[in-house]
Amino acid sequence: MVSISEIKNKLKNTPTEYLAPVIAELESDTRAGVIAECEKARKRIRDLEAEKARIDALWEFERKYPDCSYICGIDEVGRGPFAGPVVAGAVIFPKDCDILYINDSKKLSEKVRERLYDEIKEKAVACAVGHASPRRIDEINILQATYEAMREAISTLSVSPDLLLNDAVTIPGVDIRQVPIIKGDAKSISIGAASILAKVTRDREMVEYDRIYPGYGFAKNVGYGTGEHIEALKRLGPTPIHRRSFIHDYI
């Protein structure tokens, strides 16, 4: 008789989409351990089906415009930090894209974001990021700098979008039709992917800045005004990547 340990490993190593026939083969096994492992496997199947349903709902906005060949999601990260750039992401998916687990980047773990970043770049028709530097943020304010980063991301796409789905904003100076969606990074597959692209890009840059400017905790706080960051700012003074318009109360 096959041991429970062997059955456990077989179920664990079987991709979720192929679990059903494996479970069916074990239904006559009345051992409590086997029953428990089969129930865990069934939960994996239920979780996968629920995720597929959630992702299907995230295509709602993209499906509203069937005549548009290239629908581009736009989002940004980094409007609030004391240091570092604001980064915008732009993503165009093919209409038959089968990517799962996309969500607002803030709701995902770093490990999941990193994995999805690679998958997004692999499966997207086109994707790009745009930046606005701390100096530019100080020059024209964070909102206008965010718009600049978004326009840069759009302009560097390898194909020209027919439609932009934006997270909450309408971007000035863009001739492409735009649809602003409140909390769009949790409602649109394309906007959610753009938020992940922008978040991973910016976080990686802040890790590099932490090596260049140690002591501020940039790798951990990614430029946000944490207590550690504020104390370092008072003790060490600002770096070239600090936004002077954001930190005047602390220096």
Q: Flag whether 126 is in a domain.
A: yes
**Closest of 181, 179, 174 to residue 157, by C-alpha:** 174
29 and 75 in a common domain: no
Q: Flag whether 39 is in a domain.
A: yes
* Residue ranges making up the domain that contains 24: 4-58
If one counts the domains in the chain, the total is 2
Q: What is the per-residue pLDDT for 221?
A: 98
Is 79 in contact with 167 (CB distance < 8 Å)?
no
Percent of the chain with pLDDT over 90: 96
72 and 21 in a common domain: no
Q: Is the pLDDT of residue 9 over 90?
A: yes
Distance CA 148, CA 143 (A): 9
Q: What is the mean pLDDT of the chain?
A: 96
Average pLDDT over residues 196-218: 98
Average pLDDT over residues 99-124: 96
189 and 72 in a common domain: yes
For CA atoms 35, 40, 44, 50, the dihedral sign is: positive
Is 180 in contact with 149 (CB distance < 8 Å)?
no
More confident residue, 55 or 250: 55
187 and 165 in a common domain: yes
Q: What is the per-residue pLDDT for 85?
A: 98
Q: What is the per-residue pLDDT for 251?
A: 80
Is 11 in contact with 34 (CB distance < 8 Å)?
no
Percent of the chain with pLDDT over 70: 100
- Tokens at 76, concatenated: 């940004």
187 and 103 in a common domain: yes
Q: Is the pLDDT of residue 87 over 90?
A: yes
Q: What is the per-residue pLDDT for 203?
A: 98
Distance CA 21, CA 205 (A): 46
